[in-house]
Amino acid sequence: MREIGHWIGGRRVAGASGRFAEVWNPATGEVQARVALASKAELDAAVAAAAAAQTKWAATNPQRRARVMMEAVRLLNRDMDKIAEAISREHGKTFPDARGDVQRGLEVIEFCIGAPHLLKGEFTDAAGPGIDMYSMRQPLGVVAGITPFNFPAMIPLWKIGPALAAGNAMILKPSERDPSAPLLIAEVFAEAGLPEGILQVVNGDREAVDAILDNAVVQAVGFVGSTPIAQYIYSRAAAAGKRAQCFGGAKNHMIVMPDADMDQAADALVGAGYGAAGERCMAISVAVPVGERTADRLIEKLVPRIEKLKVGPWTAGNDVDFGPLVTAEARARVLGLVESGIAEGARLVVDGRRFVLQGYEKGFFVGPHLFDRVTPAMEIYRTEIFGPVLSTVRAASYEEALGLAMSHEYGNGTAIFTRDGDTARDFASRINIGMVGINVPIPVPLAYHTFGGWKRSGFGDLNQHGPDAFRFYTRTKTVTARWPSGLKEGGEFHFRAME
């Protein structure tokens, strides 16, 4: 059996704990490798080595650090297909979608090329007689990133870029379900010129996570994953005095107003609801048509589109719309929730329960499902399903639709489809959700804006990427300086480059 280890000290190393997790091929249902699960001792050793390397990296001028980012962008583009293939093999998502996973991550590395500008401090000339005051942004030291299975390249890159460009060293603890892409990314950064020890990829499970939380050297933790774990990590990190930003689950509503272009809304819902088999924190999982007639028209448009969706393995390239779920356990969970929806009285309009793919009978595939007449009390409405299941909740009015999205415990993303600017503007202004789309179903902000949910979708007060990421990974020091006046030295006439 192929063994996947860690990336420590600038090279791949085998695990020493003797503990492993299975890495599945979701399309065939077979185990394809096993990944080492780090012990506390391995994690602590990786942190100590990172701390030893970080001081020199922090003292490297920001332009040089940015050049590592620049070269990493070139290499990520060069290796995009290789990394995407590793993602598809372990996660199961389609090949074009896996390329998108790498692309949306490398855009944050592109943004980080501008780090020197973002790291500039503030200066007040003559704050008092002969006194200057200035603030500088300094790296935190060793920071940690703990990331989920569903974007094994994008989210690690969102963490690595800003943390490293700001002068920190990072311990990345990726998901044990698809560990190969983060290791390929670590290789890219090494080739791009990142010194040894600055990026340590330590595979593991709860033991490694707890070791991060208990290690006093680790100054900050950036987490992305499910809400219960986000809350657990946020509280323990905060209690230990670490800076923490922990992003959790979601239940994203798309409101469809009676004046919306129904074809456009249906197309958007199909892509946003079923893309990546619904395993996206920004997937739309609830459609809220306003008015019975809107609901009937929307369902009528959705059904033929959903029935046409092609489900298959990533090796089919562009010929599939979505692939299998990540594990047999995830498949069983999603199908269990579908049964609960039926039992609680929702109407199953498209039934994907019996979907089987010839030649891939043991794969973790689930066909697309569409529910109508879902109510807020049902489990399929309250829970994040994380599968190809779209629920329709019919609202009698705009206010009722708005109230639904506002009352849900999650607040990651939402969208409204309408031709009325006044309604759209009211929605964007009043909604208590972090990312809002107006006739855009998946409003993931670009790298130079910030990404983050509200309510139980995010714990902590700074978002991912954009300027917030540089605030998260640095702290401010303010200096007040007064210099006694004295003799000035003579001039220097040679232009000196920054070294």
Amino acid at 166: A
The answer to whether residue 325 forms part of the interface with ligand NAD (CB under 6 A) is no
The answer to whether residue 176 forms part of the interface with ligand NAD (CB under 6 A) is yes
Cα separations in angstroms, 87 against 236, 247, 330: 31, 21, 17
Enter the tokens of residue 325.
């779920």
* Stretch in the footprint of ligand NAD (CB under 6 A) among 131-139, 145-153, 286-294, 391-399: 145-153
* Stretch in the footprint of ligand NAD (CB under 6 A) among 86-94, 160-168, 205-213, 424-432: 205-213
Q: Bin 359: left if φ > 0, else alpha if -120 < ψ < 50, else beta.
A: left
Minimum CB separation of residue 22 from ligand NAD in Å reads: 14
The answer to whether residue 412 forms part of the interface with ligand NAD (CB under 6 A) is yes
Minimum CB separation of residue 23 from ligand NAD in Å reads: 13
Q: How many CB atoms lie within 10 A of CB 21?
A: 18
How many residues line the site for ligand NAD (CB under 6 A)?
A: 26
The answer to whether residue 158 forms part of the interface with ligand NAD (CB under 6 A) is no
Minimum CB separation of residue 224 from ligand NAD in Å reads: 5
Is the Cβ–Cβ distance between 241 and 213 less than 8 Å?
Answer: no
Is the Cβ–Cβ distance between 472 and 462 less than 8 Å?
Answer: yes
In the annotation, is 281 catalytic? yes
Nearer residue to ligand NAD within complex by CB, 148 or 341: 148
**Distance between start and end Cα atoms, the chain:** 48
Minimum CB separation of residue 215 from ligand NAD in Å reads: 14
Q: Which of 200, 245, 414, 457 binds ligand NAD (CB under 6 A)?
A: 457
Nearer residue to ligand NAD within complex by CB, 57 or 386: 386
**Nearest in space to 444 (alpha carbons), one of 283, 247, 224:** 283
Q: Which of 250, 286, 295, 415 binds ligand NAD (CB under 6 A)?
A: 250
Amino acid at 449: H
Q: Tell me 317's DSSP state.
A: G
- List Cβ neighbours of 218 (8 Å cut-off, separation of 6 or more): 47, 142, 143, 144, 171, 212, 242
Q: How many CB atoms lie within 10 A of CB 493?
A: 5
* Stretch in the footprint of ligand NAD (CB under 6 A) among 121-129, 169-177, 184-192, 399-407: 169-177
Cα separations in angstroms, 232 against 95, 246, 385: 34, 9, 21
Minimum CB separation of residue 231 from ligand NAD in Å reads: 10
Nearer residue to ligand NAD within complex by CB, 392 or 412: 412
Contact track, ligand NAD, 274-303, x by CB under 6 A: -------x----------------------
Enter the tokens of residue 82.
């290789």
The answer to whether residue 453 forms part of the interface with ligand NAD (CB under 6 A) is yes
Cα separations in angstroms, 489 against 130, 443, 483, 486, 492: 19, 57, 15, 9, 9
**List 260, 281, 334, 416, catalytic entry:** 281
Q: Which of 44, 132, 191, 205 binds ligand NAD (CB under 6 A)?
A: 205
Minimum CB separation of residue 280 from ligand NAD in Å reads: 7
Residues with catalytic annotation? Answer: 281
Kindly list the residues in this chain that would bind ligand NAD in the complex (CB under 6 A). Answer: 146-151, 173, 175-176, 205-206, 209, 224-226, 229, 247-250, 281, 384, 386, 412, 453, 457
